[in-house]
């Protein structure tokens, strides 16, 4: 079983991203769960959504404390996430931002990857300049770095979830897919 935490700020669409990721994984024959953190959510406050997936039924029903993969929608939330305790050894941290945003994570026992999804979202006019829509874009980085997620399945799930701007989202997701850079630490 693989466990994923998608972290961001209230209003960034962490739960929407979790649902789309679960849909894409389900289309690949995986058993999935997607659910939000059960705490008060306020626009701009740190929040999280969770995804579990496996080739077999999943009987576990609780929040995810330690994940194989953490996807960060807003790198400013990294300091409040306690990454070293929430990401399993050998896990993967995928962050929206620059590699320098991860400089505080020294001597880590996991892999990191970064992509400036904010810049790509602004370029593709997804969201606004003050609140760019990066949630679906970060799933493109997930697809590039995690072998369980074919890009075509992800694109299909994204387009089905947002048919109005599906084509622009698809182009932006592909750009993130191509630009993400992994740093093994």
Find where tokens 């953490």 sit. Answer: 70
Q: Is the pLDDT reported for residue 47 higher than 90? A: no
User: pTM for the complete prediction?
Assistant: 0.91
DSSP 44: T
Tokens of 60: 């576990």
Q: Is the pLDDT reported for residue 145 higher than 70? A: yes
d(CA 10, CA 171): 25
Q: Which helix (H) or strand (E) holds 90?
A: strand 87-96
Where do the domains of the chain lie, and which CATH numbers do they carry? Answer: 2-183 (3.40.920.10)
């Amino acid at each position: 079983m693989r466990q994923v935490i998608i972290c961001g700020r209230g209003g960034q669409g962490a739960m929407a991203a979790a649902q789309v990721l679960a849909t894409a994984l389900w289309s690949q024959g995986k058993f999935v769960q997607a659910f939000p953190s059960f705490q008060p959510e306020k626009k701009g406050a740190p929040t999280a959504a969770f995804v579990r997936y496996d080739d077999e039924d999943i009987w576990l029903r609780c929040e995810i404390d330690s994940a194989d993969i953490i996807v960060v929608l807003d790198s400013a939330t990294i300091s409040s996430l306690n990454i070293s305790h929430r990401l399993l050894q050998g896990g993967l941290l995928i962050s929206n931002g620059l590699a320098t945003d991860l400089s505080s994570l020294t001597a880590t026992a996991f892999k990191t990857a970064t992509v400036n999804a904010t810049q790509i979202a602004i370029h593709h006019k997804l969201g606004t300049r003050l609140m760019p829509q990066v949630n679906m874009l970060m799933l493109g980085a997930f697809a590039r770095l995690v072998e369980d997620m074919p890009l075509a399945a992800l694109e299909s799930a994204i387009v089905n979830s947002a048919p109005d701007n599906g084509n622009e989202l698809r182009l932006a997701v592909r750009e993130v897919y191509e630009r993400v850079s992994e740093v093994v630490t």
